Structure 1
């Protein structure tokens, strides 16, 4: 299976036209456009199946649960929206969650929550619940914990064939190793330290969010991010990024 990997296209700021790529499935690891517009775009842009995990920017300008419902309503058999969802295509199991973060990655949880609430736009751009309030760090942390536990339990289920996790937020501090802005408690607003989920039974983890392209391994699990990012950013984006999965794992 040939998997075309893209994330952080930010079509709301600068429309992206994908290059023709021979692929069996396209994975969109979040921040494609605001609201449900990315689903319609993906349907027009690709002829093959698309697996779309929403990022944080999809939820800007509205209530998180309401926008997730809009994304699901816009989806179909060609473009599938995944959040706490499993899909099997061509003998490959895909597990998709936005993930969010638990603010624990750097070991400075209280500091991470405080600086994130001050500096991360999610707290002002996303609305939460019937009262349309601003979210709190504990709201996102609860989603992250639920995501971690769902992935842990899903990965524990036997499956004959390769398994791929798709998230928006990154699963390991290694995803920002060398990043020019890394090294502060704010790292934990972008990255989780979920390395223990990787290893036997998980072949590939695809993520976005960091605007920093990476390709590394943790305990035999390959981790890839291929973000377009914002105009002018040097993120090593490859518009034709394709990973091949065979029955034995990543080729």
Structure 2
């Protein structure tokens, strides 16, 4: 199976949708931050489906999909908008699995634990997520403690998935990064890196997914997590289009599973 993947398209800023890299792919993966309005998001997903010949598309929501909205309630808005397209080839996953041609896809936004809580305060004060997203339980500004709890629940869900009796390949799709190795060195001293990445390296070595595709960080990555070249290793990939001014290539990268 050939997977064409990208993230952080940020169509809300007028990004031009490009199809380079889609030819020959069997599945498209969009790892979040596609569009901040549910109706526009669904319209774009319809365009993407048409450009891809209505072949399977796996998509997860990013943090930006909740901007100026409510977490987690707005997930239903995106689901409803997608249902209106009547495109069964598009799979919006949130703590859900789908199997295609013997390959299991696990999808979720993921979020983070804010460097095991050590960066909760700085992320709360600095990151826009906690200024423009409201918590559906309190209708107040979203708080890092709430997200840390959700992240914990997502990790438990992933752990359950990897304890299932599944013998085929697994591809995990998240928006947030599963490892601090995805963080660009120029941000090494940042006090909010924990709002972008989590330290799941040891868990990944235990779970052994074949591929982990993520977004959120606007720097491309391609590296392996695993103890030895002879043992099972996980390929971690990120192909963000990013904001227009960042000048990232607007293409789909591919990986074979």
2:155 paired with 1:148: yes
* Equivalent position to 1:195, from 191, 201, 214: 201
Deviation at 1:169, TM superposition (A): 0.3
* 2:6 matched residue in structure 1: 6
2:16 paired with 1:16: yes
* Equivalent position to 1:239, from 247, 251, 255: 251
Q: Deviations over 1:199-220 (max 9, x none)?
A: 3641000000011100000011
Aligned to 2:240, the other structure's residue is in SS state coil
Paired residue total: 239
Deviation at 1:185, TM superposition (A): 2.9
* Equivalent position to 1:104, from 105, 109, 115: 115
Gaps of 5+ in 1: 246-251
* 2:71 matched residue in structure 1: 64
- On the 8 A contact 1:35/1:70 being kept in 2, the answer is no
Distance, in Å, in 2 between the alignment partners of 1:58 and 1:165 is 19
- On the 8 A contact 1:63/1:129 being kept in 2, the answer is yes
- On the 8 A contact 2:174/2:214 being kept in 1, the answer is yes
Gaps of 5+ in 2: 227-232
- Runs of 4+ off more than 3 Å: none
* Equivalent position to 1:167, from 162, 171, 174: 174
* 2:229 matched residue in structure 1: none
* 1:230 matched residue in structure 2: 243
Normalising by structure 1, report the TM-score: 0.90
* Equivalent position to 2:99, from 88, 106, 124: 88
Q: Deviations over 1:24-59 (max 9, x none)?
A: 111000000013232331221232211110000000
* 1:248 matched residue in structure 2: none
